[in-house]
Chains A and B, each alone.
Chain A
Amino acid sequence: MRSPSSLKQEFLKRWMRGLQRCTSSKKDMNVLERKKVIKLSADLAIASARNGTTSWSRALIANASRDNDNRILAERILGPESDILIKRVSTSVGTVSCNRKIRSKKILKRSCNSVRRVRKGTHLPQKVLAKSIAKRLVQKRTQILKRLVPGGEFMDELSLIEETLDYIAYLRAQVDVMRCIASATELINHD
C-alpha cells in the first residue's frame, strides 16, 4: 500500500494541474459548473494516479468520458497522457461489457433459484435458517457496495473487497486534501 502522504502529494499535483488546464479556457462559470469541474478534475487526478491499474479508476475514467460534453473536459484535464489512458480504459471496458452480459445472466439465474429455494424450504432447522438469513444479508450488502464502488458491479467478492480497499484509501486522501485547501482558502478569503 502506498503511503498516504505520497498519495496525497500525487493527487494534489495532478488535481492542480488539471484545474489549471481547465480554467485556462473558460472564464466565467457558475457555481455548479465549477463544482463539477473541481470534482471531475479531482476524480480524474486520482484515477490517473493509479494509471489504470485498478478497476475502479478505469471505471471512473470511463464514466467521465462517456458523456460527450464531459469527454472534452476530461480529455483536456487529463492532458497529453489522456490518449494512452483512455485507450487503456476502453480496452478494459470492452471486456467488462462482455462480462456484463454473462454476469447479468448468471445473476438472473441465481435470483430465480434462490426464490425457488425459499418457497420450497419450509421446515428447516434453525441453524440452516440462520445461515441462510445471514447469507442473504451479506448478499444484500455486497450488492449495495457494488453500486457504490465505481465499476464494482461486475466483480466477484474477492476483487470487490480489494477494490474497496483501494477506493477507500483514495477517497480518504481526496477528502483530506480538499478539506485542507478549502479551509485554507476560506481562511485566507475571510481575512
Chain B
Amino acid sequence: MNRALPEMSHCLNGPGKCTDMTVLERQRARVRWQQSYLGGSDFGGVFLETSQADQVGNFQDLVVGGSSCSVLDDVGTHSVKPDPGLENGWLELGRLELPNMGFGSGGSMNGSPTGLEMNSSISKTSSCPPTEAQSAPEAKDKVSVPAEKMSSAAGRDSSKKRKADKMQNTKVFAEDDAKYKRSKACAEEGESKITTEQARIKNNTSTPTTNNRETSADSSKENSKASEVQKPDYIHVRARRGQATDSHSLAERVRREKISERMKYLQDLVPGCNKITGKAGMLDEIINYVQSLQRQVEFLSMKLAAVNPRLDFNIDDLFAKEFNPVQQVAACCGFEMGLNSPDMALRRTLSTPVSLPEPYLDASCFTQLQPPPTWDADLQNLLNLEFHQERSISFPYQPFTGSIEASNLKMEI
C-alpha cells in the first residue's frame, strides 16, 4: 500500500483537470490509462472491456478487481489505480470515506489510511465495508451529482456500503469475509464470477437485508468460516460450516453453549446426574437436590436447637482452648469432610473426645462420658456414611425429617 502511494499521488496530480470531461471521455481516458499502467498485471483482462454499454460493468469490474487486488497481498501489484476520470468523481467520495475507513472487518487489508492514501484506495474501499452511517448518505448525495450511470453505479456501491454499515452494526462480520472470499474468488476465476455478481448486485439493490442473506448464502456455499473482527467489546464467534451466519443465530448459539457448559458443571455437582442427558431431566434432578438440601438445613437447625437448650456451642471454644486453634478447626473440618484419609480423621476425632469429659463434667447436661468404643463405632458410622454419595446419606434422614417435621407442625399449631 505504501508502495502505491507515490504512484497514487502522481496520478492524482495528473488528471486534475478532468472535472470537465464527460463520462465518455473519462471512460476513454481511463481505458488508455489502464492499458498503459496495468500492462502486465493479472487483472489486465478484467479492465480491458471498453464497450460503452459496459461502462457500469467496467466500473464494477474496476471496483471489484481493485478490491480483490487490494485484498490479495500476494499479488505484488498494488497498482490498481483508480482511473483518472473516475477518480475525480470519486475524490469527494474518497474524502468522505476518509475518516470512516480506519480499520474494518477487512482490517487486515487496510491500515488507517489518511488523506492522500484514502484517495488512492478508493477502489479498495468498495470491499472494505465498514463505513459509518454518515458517510453513506453523503457519499450517495455527492456521487449522484456527476453522471447517471456513475451515480447508479455509485449508488449501488454505496448501497453495498450501507449494507456494510448494517453489517457493522451487527456483531458478526460474516458477510465481510464472504465478500472477501467472493472477491478473491473473482480475482482468481476471472470475469464470469464478476458478471454473475454484478447481476446479483443489480438484482438486489432494494433491500440490504436480502443482500446480507445472499452473502451469507454465498459464504455457506463457499464454505467460508466467518470470524469476528478484533473489536474489544464483542464476543468472538466462529460460525461452523454449513450453519447460518447471521448475528442472531450466532449469538444464540453462543448462549446455548454457555448454558450447556454450566449444565455440565451442575452434573458434576449434583449426584446421580450422570445418566441423565436432557435439560428438563437434569433440571428436575437439580430441583430435587436443592429442595432436599434446604429441607436438611431446616431439620438440622431444628435438631441443634432441640439438642442445645442454651444455644451454647461450646465445643469449638473448648477445642480451641485445649488445642491449637488452627489445628482444631482443621480437625473439625477434616472430621466433617470425611473425604480425606478416613484414618487420619478418625484418629483426630478420637483424640478430641478424651479432653471433652473434663470440661463437660461441669455442665449440667450430662454426667458420664461413654467409653471410647461406642464413640468410635458411632463416629465410624458417621464417617462411613459421609464417604458415600450424598444420596445415601440423605436417605437415613428422610424418616427423621418426616417425624421431626410432623412434630414441628404439632408445635406450631
Give the interface SS of chain B, mostly helix, strand, loop or mixed. Answer: helix
Counting chain B residues whose Cβ lies within 8 A of the other chain, the interface size class is 35 or more
Closest to A26 in B: B311
Residue A144, interface by CB 8 Å: yes
User: Does A39 lie within 8 Å of B311, measured CB to CB?
Assistant: no
Query: Contacts of B255 on A, CB cut-off 8 Å?
Result: 158
Q: Cβ of B279 < 8 Å from any Cβ of A?
A: yes
CB distance from B118 to the nearest CB of A (A): 43
Q: In the complex, which residues of chain A have a beta carbon less than 8 angstroms from the beta carbon of B366?
A: 188-191
* Stretch in A72-80, A95-103, A113-121, A169-177 with 4+ CB within 8 Å of B: A169-177
Q: Which of B81-89, B107-115, B281-289 contacts A (4 or more CB under 8 A)?
A: B281-289
Q: Is the interface of A mostly helix, strand, loop or mixed?
A: helix
Bitwise, A130-160 to B at CB < 8 A (1) or not (0) is: 0000100110011011001100000001100
Say yes or no: A34-B311 contact (C-beta < 8 A), given A158-B259, A171-B290, A175-B296.
yes
B264 to chain A, nearest CB (A): 10
CB pair A162 B262 closer than 8 Å: yes
Task: Determine which residue in B278, B283, B365 has the highest number of CB atoms from chain A within 10 A of its CB, and name it.
Answer: B283
What residue of chain B has the Cβ atom nearest to residue A11's Cβ? B333
Q: Mark B165-209, 1 if CB is under 8 A from A, else 0.
A: 000000000000000000000000000000000000000000000
Residues of B within 8 A of A34 (CB): 304-305, 308, 311
Query: In this complex, which of B280, B289, B412 has the most chain A Cβ atoms within 10 angstroms of its Cβ?
Result: B280
- Let me know if A145 and B365 touch, CB within 8 A: no
Q: Do B262 and A161 touch across chains, with their CB atoms under 8 A apart?
A: yes
Kindly supply a per-residue 1/0 record for chain B positions 237-279, scoring 1 wherever the CB is within 8 Å of any chain A CB and 0 otherwise: 0000000000000000001001100110110011000000011
Complex Cα spacing A168 to B268, Å: 11
Q: Which of the segments B20-28, B40-48, B368-376 contacts the partner chain? A: B368-376
Which residues from chain A sit less than 8 Å from chain B, CB to CB? 4-5, 8-9, 12-13, 16, 19, 22-23, 29, 31-32, 34-35, 37-39, 42, 134, 137-138, 141-142, 144-145, 148-149, 157-158, 161-162, 164-165, 167-169, 171-172, 174-191
22 example contacts (A-B, Cβ-Cβ < 8 A) are as follows A5-B334, A8-B333, A9-B330, A12-B333, A19-B313, A22-B311, A32-B305, A34-B311, A38-B304, A38-B311, A148-B291, A158-B258, A161-B259, A168-B270, A168-B286, A172-B293, A178-B301, A181-B315, A184-B315, A185-B313, A188-B353, A188-B366
**Known interface pairs A23-B311, A148-B290; 6 further A-B residue pairs with C-beta atoms within 8 A, sorted by A's residue number:** A12-B332, A22-B311, A38-B301, A158-B255, A164-B286, A191-B369
